[in-house]
Homo-oligomer: A and B are copies of this chain.
Amino acid sequence: MNAAPGGFRVGLLGHGTVGSAFAHLLPAQAGRIELITGLRPAISGVLTRSSGSFEEILEVSDLIVELIGGIEPAREYVLSAMRAGRHVVTANKQLLSQHGEELWQTARANGVQLRFEGAVAGVVPVIRVVQESLSGATIDRVHGIVNGTTNFILTEMARTGMTFAEALAEAQRLGYAEADPSDDVGGRDAAAKMAILARLAFDTPVHLDQVRYEGIEQIQPDDLEYARELGLGLKLIGTAERIDGGLSVRVHPAFLYPGHPLASVNGPFNAVTVESPEITEITMSGPGAGGPQTASAVLGDVVSAMIPPASTPPTMRVLEIVHDVVSAFYLHLEVADRPGVLAGVAQVLAEHEVSVKSVVQKGLGEQARLVMVVHPVLESRFAGAMAQIARLDVLRAPPRAIRVLEEEFG
């Protein structure tokens, strides 16, 4: 199972949702990673519940990826791997929030990297940003929505008026909540992640037991209803902040005013806002969990451990630069206010196979304004229709067009 010479051997511990996604992703990206790093990564061994030997895998690996979860035997494996001089990448928030100091000390003592982007907020790159991008800033506060299960449940309760129990059942049906959701809905999962973030942001040891947390089981539908009347949205918020020379780390439900950067984070998404006098604030958001997403964060860590930080790699191909693309458009016309104008414009659009999505028409005495949004169309085709419309004798001003990004989100 050894990688070829010139390869980079990755030993994988754990083959659950994230582990199997990682085992699928690494070979798919191996060619690109070889171009970036000069080394082709390959899985050198997989430890599952029923097969494989940790010692044998360690022997044939340059780096160990730990995706078993929980404390033991994950802790023992990670410590052994680092003592044997191997880099380690893990997504294990329980382990880091309870035994982080021991692990980080072992990494430093053995001159190896311990990376753990996947442990907090899935693919949202908060660990790297706090540790590296903001290494020259003084962080005052971190606010995070770091549990996708609870954010999905609160979003559904707000959207539909469901009870907590109904929204939890819906989350379980869609795979956003586990069969035993107590760590998620009780706030303990978010507390572990905030302990890790607080450690990095404030250079001070923070153990999970020092994080005060509440969950969302007590939230009632009418809390959300009244909150809407007051202009507020409800999230499970993790906070780590300096207070008078001390540090508060806590997780609890909290209402947000609509302008807050976390207020528009809905569904199973995660987001983290970092505040610092040097930078004002940065917000990062994205999917907070899911096998492929977390596996992607783990693979980013593996690549970083393979090489010193990026010198930009050589160009790997020369893509053709495309100029004619598909866009939806907003179209603004000032026209004579008389019968048949809309029909005339619509006919030109139809001739160019431009399809109308919505129209607003307003009369203004002698003239009218016609504002339309058209469905996505090749820009050259739309330009042809615009040129012909500009020549219509009912036009009172040059037509104006602005693109519309068509995708619906959230």
Contact = CB atoms under 8 A, between A and B. Distances in A.
A311 B402 contact: no
A309 B254 CA distance: 35
Given A246-B321, A279-B287, A136 B315 contact: no
A310 interface: yes
A219 interface: yes
A312 interface: yes
B249 A312 contact: no
A117 interface: yes
A282 B124 contact: yes
Contact of A33 (B135, B200, B247): B135
Protomer copies: 2
A93 to B, nearest CB: 14
A151 to B, nearest CB: 15
Contacts of A264: 264
A138 to B, nearest CB: 7
Interface stretch (A71-79, A176-184, A299-307): A299-307
A343 interface: no
Interface in A26-85: 26, 29, 32-33, 35-36
A258 to B, nearest CB: 8
Contacts of A250: 325
Interface in A224-238: 226-227, 229-230, 232, 234, 237
A280 interface: yes
Interface residues of A, number: 130
Contacts of A407: 257, 260
Contacts of A136: 25-26, 29, 33, 296, 298-300, 302-303
A252 interface: yes
A222 interface: yes
B330 A223 contact: yes
Interface stretch (A100-108, A160-168, A186-194, A384-392): A100-108
Contact of A297 (B133, B255, B303): B133
B283 A279 contact: no
Given A223-B330, A227-B330, A243-B325, A316 B402 contact: no
30 contacts: A26-B136, A107-B312, A113-B310, A114-B312, A123-B133, A123-B278, A123-B280, A124-B282, A125-B129, A125-B282, A132-B309, A137-B300, A202-B319, A206-B321, A222-B369, A223-B400, A230-B360, A234-B402, A246-B320, A247-B322, A252-B403, A256-B404, A261-B285, A278-B293, A279-B287, A279-B292, A283-B285, A284-B285, A304-B309, A308-B309
Given A131-B310, A132-B300, A222-B369, 5 more contacts: A125-B129, A129-B129, A223-B330, A247-B321, A261-B409
Interface of A: 25-26, 29, 32-33, 35-36, 100-101, 104-105, 107-108, 112-114, 117, 123-125, 128-129, 131-138, 143, 199-200, 202-206, 210, 212, 218-220, 222-223, 226-227, 229-230, 232, 234, 237, 242-250, 252-257, 259-261, 264, 276, 278-287, 290, 292-293, 295-300, 302-305, 308-323, 325, 327, 330, 332, 358, 360, 369, 371, 373, 400, 402-410
Closest 8 CB pairs of A and B: A136-B299, A259-B410, A246-B320, A282-B286, A259-B409, A203-B316, A247-B319, A125-B133
